[in-house]
Amino acid sequence: MLAILPITTVSACFLISASAELIPSCMPLLEGCTTVSSAGRYGVAYILFKAGIIPTAILLAVFWPLCRRWFLVLGHPDSIGLRAMVWLGIISAIFLFVYAAALGSSGDLYRFMRRTGVTIHFSFSYLAQVLLLNRVWYECRQKKQQPLPGYIAISMLTISLLMFALGLYSLPVGELIPDPGDVTINIIEWNFALLLFGWYLVAGLAWLRTDFSWPE
């Protein structure tokens, strides 16, 4: 759900806005003709965007504490790393809510809230995912009767490396990396968001392989 809900919501908002000619029509992952935010800023898409992203933020705030519980059930000792993972995840969820709530509003304050919200959400989510990956990698290497399959850790690592590369390219470092233009930034944003939320599909698969489920 954490992957399907936001990806479906943003895709639907883009198609609605593009069909109404409120934003350019293109393949945003490859052409970057508009931003993710613009897809949910106008008309019906504005309502749909908030209706999909705000519940996603709530689900994220629940997901990360459950990840800590999952590792404890698997026999991992509680640690600073696990607690840090939870807090990073919860903070990222809060700022996703801030971003979604401020989207479509005018004024410097709302503009600041949008920029801060999406920046902190992306960065803190990524850090929480890396901390979870570290534990999953350890779990895959354990000599248990039913360990996690290695492809789960490899999939998470691959996605994390791709996101790191996109994030690095978006930041000009002296003259080593050229200053990217708006189109390039849009392409990076679309692909980074897709990878970030697609990562939760792999996390869900890991839960299934260990028979972990939401508490009743």
Q: Does 111 fall in a domain? A: yes
Range of the domain at 17: 4-209
Cβ proximity of 31 and 187 under 8 Å: yes
Cβ proximity of 136 and 147 under 8 Å: no
Q: DSSP strand E in 44-135: where?
A: none
Q: Does 133 fall in a domain? A: yes
**Mean pLDDT (whole number) for 58-66:** 94
pLDDT at res. 213: 64
End-to-end CA distance of the chain: 17
Report the sign of the C-alpha dihedral through residues 9, 14, 17, 18, in that order: negative
Residue 185 has pLDDT above 90, yes or no: no
Q: How confident is the model at residue 16 (pLDDT cuts 50, 70, 90)?
A: very high
Number of domains in the chain: 1
Compute how many other C-beta atoms are within 10 angstroms of the C-beta atom of residue 132.
26
Q: Does 202 fall in a domain? A: yes
Rounded-to-integer distance, Cα 123 and Cα 96, Å: 11
Q: Does 137 fall in a domain? A: yes
Spatial CA neighbour of 50 closest among 63, 35, 60, 37: 37
- pTM, 2 dp: 0.88
* 109-115-119-121 Cα dihedral, nearest 10 degrees: 60
Residue 94 has pLDDT above 90, yes or no: yes
Cβ proximity of 102 and 113 under 8 Å: yes
How open is the CA angle 26-27-31, to the nearest 5 degrees?
Answer: 85
pLDDT tens per residue, range 131-148: 999 988 887 776 665 667
Q: Does 97 fall in a domain? A: yes
Q: Does 215 fall in a domain? A: no
**Mean pLDDT (whole number) for 71-82:** 87
Compute how many other C-beta atoms are within 10 angstroms of the C-beta atom of residue 28.
25
**Mean pLDDT (whole number) for 15-20:** 90
Retrieve residue 206's tokens. 């890991």
Spatial CA neighbour of 125 closest among 49, 199, 37: 199
Give the C-alpha distances (Å, rounded to integers) separating 57 from 2, 52, 92, 102, 155: 9, 9, 8, 14, 24
Q: Does 163 fall in a domain? A: yes
Q: Indicate the SS3 state at residue 163.
A: helix
Q: Does 41 fall in a domain? A: yes
Q: What are phi and psi of 146, to 5 degrees?
A: -135, 75
Write the CB contacts of 87 (distance below 8 Å, at least 6 apart in sequence). none
User: Higher confidence at residue 126 or residue 148?
Assistant: 126
